[in-house]
Amino acid sequence: MTEISRRQLLLSAAAFSAAPLFIGRAQATDTDVVVIGAGAAGISAARALKSRGYSVIIIEASGRIGGRILTDNESFGVPFDMGASRLHNRGNNPFADYGLANGFDIYRAPEETLMYVGDRPINDSEQAAFLQAQRKALRAMWRAGRDELDVSPASVIPDLGDWGLTVDFLIGAYEIAKDLNSFSCVDWYTAAGGSDFYCRQGTGTLFQHSARDVAVQTDVTAEKIRWDGQGVTIETSEGTITAKAVVVTVSTGVLASGDIEFDPPLPVRKQEAIQELPMGHYFHVGLQMSKNIFGTGADAYFNYKVDEEVDGSPKAFGALTNAGGTDLCYFDMGGDFAKHLLEAGNNAAYDFVASELKRMFGNHIEKYIIESNSYDWLHDPYTYGSYAAAKPGGFWARDEMRESTADRIWFAGEAMSDDDWSTIAGAHKSGLIVAEEISEVL
């Protein structure tokens, strides 16, 4: 059933080699550009600006680089990507090429998918009914997006009967990190398609390697950006930096939180755009299993018919089994149900996954679970969520966020990508575009 593989629903990059950008701590100093945030967008923007001859300081509030790209190599003894785990859209993704050129094991995501109904595999008639419901939903969304109807999928998808919640989960929460009433058909329509690839050593490990030449000042928090005079002044936890321009690459969740103050406030239209691009909710629960209970090959997908909801959000997970050919499985929750679990604590997520596995495979299944781990992106003060999708009626917000403020403040990141939003490659490309625009202005 290749129809329901993860990304099927839906720049050539600058070289990765460069000299270190800056060494030392933030202090009262002058520089051409300050880059706030050391995720994919921040690293690419800083490197590209440096290659053009500008002086650059890059600061990062947390103690590491990567943002929502994070590989845990300790919990299971094998790589576990706690955030971004796929290299989307292979033809437009420089990280896959970088990995191949630097000895990483980059391989195409297999298409094997197992689907259950209750405690058994789906039968032929059920599969036909499911695929028909899925096609109806995708067709309705595609038409709305093509016709530039900036409305929610929930408002255009017809009644799908018994398979409605399953389709809702797979297209919405599992793919976009939001339920079908919470994002724009036009936004969904503009997302670039392409093949998914994995990195056996972990996407976070790959990113860390690609940015190893970039000197970043970690544990430095940007507190206030003043832009009422010439250039900008950035007040940080370690001192004040003056610059000609600033690139802000933090998530829209952080921007909406007000943790970084702008003085004077950003224009009203920019503030409204931030609110129109709220963070979705998505996270992996990793389970190390002593037995392959699914009977699948490496990197196979597992889904099941969804019959319950919580406040309108499908109560379900989607799984990646035997990740990288190991005994590690990813169980992914998304949308408002994921938020519900995160607010209840990590044990709630584990308990839900374990109860669903028992329901489908029997109570004895829990004895095969060796270890578990997950990461709470919702309450992480450096993210406040997973990735951004435009609200219904909010597709315009991405264009607005890509516009500079007074030719001194630029925003970059996955939320500002024109067609690769929610991806590492999109964030990377966004940083390159901003660097080019700054070089034209300066």
Mind listing the pLDDT tens digit for each residue in 377-400?
999 999 999 999 999 999 999 999
106-108 and 239-248 beta bridge pairing: unpaired
Task: Please indicate, yes or no, whether residues 30 and 64 belong to a single structural domain of this protein.
Answer: yes
The three-class DSSP label of residue 364 is helix
Comparing 92 with 75, which gets the higher pLDDT? 75
Confidence tier at 346 by pLDDT (50, 70, 90): low
Q: Is the pLDDT score of 19 beyond 90?
A: no
Confidence tier at 201 by pLDDT (50, 70, 90): very high
Total tally of structural domains belonging to the chain: 2
Q: Is the pLDDT score of 173 beyond 70?
A: yes
Mean pLDDT confidence for 394-408: 97
Task: Please indicate, yes or no, whether residues 402 and 348 belong to a single structural domain of this protein.
Answer: no
Mean pLDDT confidence for 37-60: 97
Dig out the tokens for 48 from the structure: 């590209």
Q: Count Cβ atoms below 10 Å from residue 51 Cβ, excluding itself.
A: 17
Percent of residues, the chain, with pLDDT higher than 70: 93
pLDDT tens digits, residue range 363-383? 999 999 999 999 999 999 999
Mean pLDDT confidence for 84-100: 89
Predicted local confidence at residue 149, as pLDDT? 98
300 occurs within a structural domain: yes
Task: Please indicate, yes or no, whether residues 142 and 256 belong to a single structural domain of this protein.
Answer: no
Number of H helices, E strands in the chain: 12, 21
417 occurs within a structural domain: yes
Cα–Cα distance list, 325 to 30, 108, 298, 299 (Å): 50, 13, 5, 7
324-327 long-range contacts (CB < 8 A, ≥24 apart) are 324/78, 324/79, 324/198, 324/200, 324/298, 324/299, 325/200, 325/298, 325/299, 326/76, 326/78, 327/78, 327/288, 327/289, 327/290, 327/292, 327/370
Q: Compute the Cα dihedral for 153, 154, 160, 162 and give only its sign.
A: positive
Predicted local confidence at residue 200, as pLDDT? 96
Q: Compute the Cα dihedral for 194, 419, 340, 310 and give only its sign.
A: negative
Distance, CA of 75 to CA of 364 (rounded, Å): 23
Mean pLDDT confidence for 349-361: 97
Predicted local confidence at residue 29, as pLDDT? 61
Distance, CA of 297 to CA of 288 (rounded, Å): 16
Q: Is the pLDDT score of 357 beyond 50?
A: yes
Buried b (16+ CB within 10 A) or exposed e, 12-44: ebbebebeebbeeebeebebbbbbbbbbbbbbb
Task: Please indicate, yes or no, whether residues 1 and 74 belong to a single structural domain of this protein.
Answer: yes
- Angle subtended at Cα 235 by Cα 231 and Cα 240, rounded to the nearest 5 degrees: 80
Predicted local confidence at residue 110, as pLDDT? 87
Dig out the tokens for 24 from the structure: 């030392």
Distance, CA of 386 to CA of 409 (rounded, Å): 24
**In this structure, what DSSP letter does residue 391 have?**
P
Predicted local confidence at residue 324, as pLDDT? 92
379 occurs within a structural domain: no
Mean pLDDT confidence for 220-225: 98
Q: Is the pLDDT score of 23 beyond 50?
A: no
**In this structure, what DSSP letter does residue 92 have?**
G
225 occurs within a structural domain: yes
Confidence tier at 17 by pLDDT (50, 70, 90): very low
Task: Please indicate, yes or no, whether residues 63 and 8 belong to a single structural domain of this protein.
Answer: yes
How many angstroms separate the first and last alpha carbons of the chain? 52
389 occurs within a structural domain: no
Specify the residue for token string 């597992």.
302
56-60 and 217-218 beta bridge pairing: parallel
Range of the domain at 439: 1-109+195-278+395-442
Predicted local confidence at residue 192, as pLDDT? 78
User: Which residues have CB under 8 Å from 344's CB, separation 6+?
Assistant: none
Distance, CA of 291 to CA of 191 (rounded, Å): 37
Confidence tier at 64 by pLDDT (50, 70, 90): very high
The three-class DSSP label of residue 373 is strand
Question: What is the rounded average pLDDT for all residues in the chain?
Answer: 92
Distance, CA of 230 to CA of 275 (rounded, Å): 28
Task: Please indicate, yes or no, whether residues 38 and 95 belong to a single structural domain of this protein.
Answer: yes
The CATH number of whichever domain residue 89 belongs to comes to 3.50.50.60
Cα–Cα distance list, 222 to 79, 219, 247, 392, 429 (Å): 31, 10, 12, 31, 23
Phi, psi (deg, nearest 5) at residue 22: -165, 140
Cβ–Cβ under 8 Å, residues 415 and 421:
yes
Q: Is the pLDDT score of 166 beyond 50?
A: yes
Task: Please indicate, yes or no, whether residues 132 and 104 belong to a single structural domain of this protein.
Answer: no
Task: Please indicate, yes or no, whether residues 295 and 367 belong to a single structural domain of this protein.
Answer: yes
Task: Please indicate, yes or no, whether residues 433 and 303 belong to a single structural domain of this protein.
Answer: no
The CATH number of whichever domain residue 319 belongs to comes to 3.90.660.10
Dig out the tokens for 265 from the structure: 């406030």
Task: Please indicate, yes or no, whether residues 13 and 66 belong to a single structural domain of this protein.
Answer: yes
Per DSSP, the residues of 116-180 read EETTEE--HHHHHHHHHHHHHHHHHHHHHHHTT----GGGT----GGGHHHHHIIIIITTTSS-T
Task: Please indicate, yes or no, whether residues 189 and 294 belong to a single structural domain of this protein.
Answer: yes
Task: Please indicate, yes or no, whether residues 102 and 125 belong to a single structural domain of this protein.
Answer: no
232-236 and 222-226 beta bridge pairing: antiparallel
- Residues recorded for the chain: 442
The three-class DSSP label of residue 7 is coil
